[in-house]
Amino acid sequence: MTVFLHNLTQSFRPFNLSAIKRFLSIDYKLTFNHIFSLIAFYLLTAVLLFSGIAKIIDPLPLLNTLKQITFLSTELQIIIATLLPVVEIGLAFLMLTKSKLKMVLPIVAMLFAAFLAFSIYGIFAGFGADCGCFGNVVKSSFGWGMIFRNTLFLVLSLVININAWKNQVNKQHIGGKNE
């Protein structure tokens, strides 16, 4: 009986992390890489969600920016301005629910690569107005700051993809379902 009581008190001693881990059957292998991936994952999720909602609330800044692209037809500009926020919110929702991450994460990286390419194109094409990236909520004009921001988002999405690919199990890094 005393061994049982001793083990019980050892298991519930404050700050006895190994006992808590055994009790909860959770394997904690948090490294800097894991923590960085988690932060990047939720940051990009928040950016996509915020950006998509802002564009749905006020799509005109994005539409005005798309009108500056002369080789796109008006119909295609309207389709892009309509579908882009839906795609962003959909991807953010799939990331939040951690569904189909092996498919979603590469799409997110491609989306941020497209945003980076568009920001570079906008600078060299001479776009000077607000890009409409975040509707009218956050002013974001074409410039080197936009290129830096989109490069950062692309790098973060690539880090998440590399970590997920390297480990082949999304649950280890970002807690997702392995689908």
The one-letter amino acid code at 179 reads E
Count of the separate structural domains present in the chain:
2
- Read off the tokens for 11: 């298991």
Q: Does a structural domain hold residue 89? A: yes
- pLDDT tens digit string along 20-56? 455 444 445 667 777 888 889 999 999 999 999 998 9
- % of the chain surpassing 70 pLDDT: 74
| Pair 151, 121 in one domain | yes
Give φ, ψ of 169 to 5 degrees. -140, 105
Q: Does a structural domain hold residue 86? A: yes
Q: Does a structural domain hold residue 73? A: yes
Q: Does a structural domain hold residue 179? A: no
Total residues belonging to the chain: 179
| Pair 22, 110 in one domain | no
Q: Does a structural domain hold residue 44? A: yes
| Pair 53, 7 in one domain | no
Q: Does a structural domain hold residue 83? A: yes
- Read off the tokens for 162: 């590399």
| Pair 38, 25 in one domain | no
CB 119 within 8 A of CB 131: yes
Q: Does a structural domain hold residue 113? A: yes
| Pair 78, 103 in one domain | yes
Task: Give the model's confidence band at 95: pLDDT under 50 very low, under 70 low, under 90 confident, else very high.
Answer: very high
The whole-angstrom separation of Cα 95 and Cα 37 is 13
Give CA 68 to chain center in angstroms.
28
- pLDDT tens digit string along 1-15? 555 445 545 544 555
The whole-angstrom separation of Cα 62 and Cα 140 is 11
| Pair 77, 117 in one domain | yes
HEC sequence for the chain: CHHHHHHHHHHCCCCCHHHHHHHHCCCCCCCHHHHHHHHHHHHHHHHHHHHHHHHHHCCHHHHHHHHCCCCCCHHHHHHHHHHHHHHHHHHHHHHHCCCCHHHHHHHHHHHHHHHHHHHHHHHHHCCCCECCEEEECCCCECCHHHHHHHHHHHHHHHHHHHHHHHHCCHHHHHCCCCC
Using a cut of 0.75, tell me whether the model's pTM lies above it.
no
| Pair 80, 155 in one domain | yes
| Pair 85, 141 in one domain | yes
| Pair 23, 67 in one domain | no
The whole-angstrom separation of Cα 91 and Cα 99 is 10
Q: Does a structural domain hold residue 14? A: yes
| Pair 169, 106 in one domain | yes
| Pair 159, 81 in one domain | yes
| Pair 86, 47 in one domain | yes
Domain coverage including residue 133? 31-174
